[in-house]
């Protein structure tokens, strides 16, 4: 029937969006990338940080006010710096007209502090929580997680950064001058309507909303000015659904130094890196070594220009990239563990499931003991149309990747991860340990899939 045909076509449309057929417009590089402000600490009080979810207006396009959401401002959020070992109190306040949560993506805290969909704050409500920073240096982030509304709230601008530092990270000599040679770059694609507004319901695709306009840290047509020196870029794919494959237009290589949850053992030299939604990578580009610095840019797989670089004549050879960055090894005991949790990712559009089921807040899907490592096997079951990549994420833990289709994972995935891309028909094994107790989510980080129920719950006890 006609209905069936239309439905099929709609599905096709949704599905194709994942091969990123909606291409991104080239950045014209007219605006210097905004660097999120570092959130000020309150040292007098017990509350170290206060984070407010707010509505506001932002001038993304010259002379036009776009309605947006942000943390402690109108769009996106500040960078929050934490030190390993310290005890931190964070006060979160919902100043929106709708329910939200404050989820700390990648942070190893107990389930009730993690800000999953069970931790709703209604408009006007607030919550203060305290925790000890108990994990190594990494680039994490925070965003809302109300069930069914996470995608829209992130799309409207709710996302911020968390940096964790420790004595080790400070002793490495890596570029770490924030906003000078150490830059966060949050990649998000959006669609703006004729009035230059973010109209989520019009843009929304149930299979993952893909935009034609790139914002980096909320900046339209971004460029980044750097000196002729080693520069650290902390890449975050903060998009609802788009995957990026980053490379330099000159074909020069760069070093990846960190994954989602910490440093790699050794820097890994790469010519390109793919990040699926919510994944992070820290890379170091040595601008003193690149010959063709005119028209240098970070580009995407399809060669669209994501971020033009303006390289000054100034050099500042003070930082370095040590050969050894971390000491993280796969122990035999992890390699030999049997698979005790199986996760099957399946479906598309609003028919997405995990192990054949949709999210149910009343249902606990798995249990695991605190401090005990278990091997999870994640399988992406293809559908009639081949299927798509699902970025699989677990709350409250950093895990190790044991294998992809029984083979050793690539070198640059042999570090702490909290999100992992799983290709159609691929099986990924990971070793997962939770340091804390509580109920945590695990889900696909295509935000529309998450909102459509591609999510489960694990109780750690
Ligand atoms: Cu980025 Cu459930 O989280
Ligand atoms: Cu998370
Ligand atoms: Cu998915």
* CB contact at 8 A, 460 and 434: yes
Q: How many Cα atoms occupy the beta-carbon half-sphere of 432 within 13 Å?
A: 33
What was the pLDDT predicted at 13? Answer: 44
Ligand 2 centroid distance, CA of 145 (Å): 9
Q: Count the residues in the chain.
A: 461
Backbone angles phi, psi at 7, to 5 degrees: -65, -45
**Ligand 1 centre and the CA of 277: distance in Å?**
10
179 SS3 class: coil
Distance of alpha carbon 257 from alpha carbon 282, whole angstroms: 6
Sequential DSSP letters for 259-278: ETTEEEEEEEEESEEEE-TT
ipTM above 0.85, yes or no: yes
Give the ligand with the smallest distance to the CA of 443: 1
Residue nearest to atom 1 of ligand 1 (CA): 105
**214 in Cβ contact with 188 (< 8 Å):** yes
CB 240 within 8 A of CB 206: no
Neighbours of ion ligand 3 (CB under 5 A): 390, 444, 446, 449
State in Å: Cα 35 to ligand 3 middle: 30
Measured from the Cβ of residue 411, the count of other Cβ atoms closer than 10 Å reads 15
The CA radius of gyration of the chain, in Å to the nearest whole number, is 21
**Nearest ligand 1 atom, CA 143:** 1
The neighbourhood of ligand 2, an ion, using CB within 5 A, equals 105, 395
The atom of ligand 1 lying closest to the CA of 441 is 2
Residues flanking ligand 1, CB < 6 Å: 103, 105, 143, 145, 278, 393, 395, 441, 443, 445
**106 Cα to the center of ligand 1, angstroms:** 8
Residue 201 alpha carbon to ligand 3 centre in Å: 19
Q: Give me ligand 1 centre to Cα 111, in Å.
A: 13
Per-residue pLDDT of the chain (461 residues; tens, 9 = 90+): 334 444 444 444 444 445 456 889 999 999 999 999 999 998 776 778 999 999 999 999 999 999 999 999 999 999 999 999 999 999 999 999 999 999 999 999 999 999 999 999 999 999 999 999 999 999 999 999 999 999 999 999 999 999 999 999 999 999 999 999 999 999 999 999 999 999 999 999 999 999 999 999 999 999 999 999 999 999 999 999 999 999 999 999 999 999 999 999 999 999 999 999 999 999 999 999 998 889 999 999 999 999 999 999 998 777 889 999 999 877 767 888 999 999 999 999 999 999 999 999 999 999 999 999 999 999 999 998 899 999 999 999 999 999 999 999 999 999 999 999 999 999 999 999 999 999 999 999 999 999 999 999 999 99
For residue 12, the model assigns a pLDDT of 45
Rounded Cα–Cα distance for residues 360 and 346 (Å): 17
For CA atoms 13, 14, 15, 17, the dihedral sign is positive
Which numbered atom of ligand 1 lies nearest the CA of 116? 2
Q: Put the strands of the sheet holding 66-71 in their side by side order.
A: 66-71, 49-58, 87-94, 126-132
Instruction: To the nearest 10°, report the CA torsion of 296, 77, 39, 116.
Output: -120
- Of the candidates 211, 327, 205, 308, the one whose C-alpha atom is nearest the C-alpha of residue 265 is 327
Which residue has the least CA distance to atom 3 on ligand 1? 105
For residue 46, what pLDDT is reported? 76
Provide the CA 350 distance to its chain's centre, in angstroms: 22
Residue ranges of domains in the chain, CATH in brackets: 34-166 (2.60.40.420), 182-315 (2.60.40.420), 332-460 (2.60.40.420)
H helices of 326-365, in order, are 332-335
User: For residue 103, which atom of ligand 1 is closest to its CA?
Assistant: 3
Q: How far is the CA of 443 from the centre of ligand 2 (A)?
A: 9
234's CB contacts (< 8 A; 6+ apart) are: 139, 161, 182, 183, 184, 185, 258, 280, 281, 282
């Amino acid at each position: 029937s006609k209905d069936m045909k239309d439905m099929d076509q709609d599905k096709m449309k949704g599905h194709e969006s994942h091969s990123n057929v909606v291409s991104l417009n080239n950045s014209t590089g007219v605006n210097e990338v905004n660097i999120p402000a570092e959130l000020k600490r309150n040292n007098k009080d017990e509350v170290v940080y206060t984070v407010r979810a707010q509505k506001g207006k932002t001038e993304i396009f010259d002379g036009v006010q776009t309605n947006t959401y942000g943390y402690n401002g109108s769009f996106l959020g500040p960078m929050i710096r934490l030190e390993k070992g310290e005890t931190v109190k964070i006060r979160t306040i919902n100043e929106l007209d709708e329910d939200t949560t404050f989820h700390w993506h990648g942070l190893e805290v107990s389930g009730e502090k993690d800000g999953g969909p069970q931790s709703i704050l209604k408009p006007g409500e607030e919550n203060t929580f305290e925790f000890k920073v108990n994990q190594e240096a990494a680039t994490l982030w925070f965003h809302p997680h109300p069930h069914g509304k996470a995608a829209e709230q992130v799309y409207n601008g709710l996302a911020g950064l968390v940096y964790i530092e420790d004595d080790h990270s400070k002793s490495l000599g890596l570029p770490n001058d924030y906003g000078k040679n150490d830059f966060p770059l949050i990649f998000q694609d959006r669609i703006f309507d004729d009035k230059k507004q973010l109209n989520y319901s019009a843009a929304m695709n149930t299979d993952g909303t893909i935009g034609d306009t790139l914002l980096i840290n909320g900046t339209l047509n971004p460029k980044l000015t750097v000196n002729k020196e080693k520069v650290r870029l902390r890449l975050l794919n903060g998009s609802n659904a788009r995957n990026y494959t980053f490379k330099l237009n000159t074909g020069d290589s760069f070093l990846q130094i960190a994954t989602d949850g910490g440093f790699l053992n050794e820097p890994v030299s790469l010519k390109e890196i793919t990040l699926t939604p919510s994944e992070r990578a820290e890379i170091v580009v040595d601008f003193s070594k690149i010959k063709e610095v005119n028209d240098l840019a970070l580009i995407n797989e399809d060669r669209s220009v994501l971020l033009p670089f303006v390289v000054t004549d100034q050099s500042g050879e003070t930082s370095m990239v040590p050969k050894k960055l971390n000491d993280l090894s796969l122990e035999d005991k992890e390699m030999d563990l049997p698979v005790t949790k199986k996760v099957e990712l399946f479906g598309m559009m609003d028919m997405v499931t995990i192990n054949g089921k949709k999210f149910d807040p009343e249902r606990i899907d798995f249990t695991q003991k605190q401090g005990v490592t278990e091997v999870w096997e994640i399988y992406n079951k293809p559908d009639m149309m081949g299927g798509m990549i699902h970025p699989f994420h677990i709350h409250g833990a950093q895990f190790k990747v044991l294998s992809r289709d029984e083979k050793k994972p690539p070198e640059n995935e042999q570090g702490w991860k909290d999100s992992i891309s799983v290709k159609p028909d691929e099986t990924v094994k990971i070793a997962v340990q939770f340091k804390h107790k509580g109920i945590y989510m695990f889900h696909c980080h295509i935000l529309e899939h998450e909102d459509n129920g591609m999510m489960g719950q694990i109780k750690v006890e």
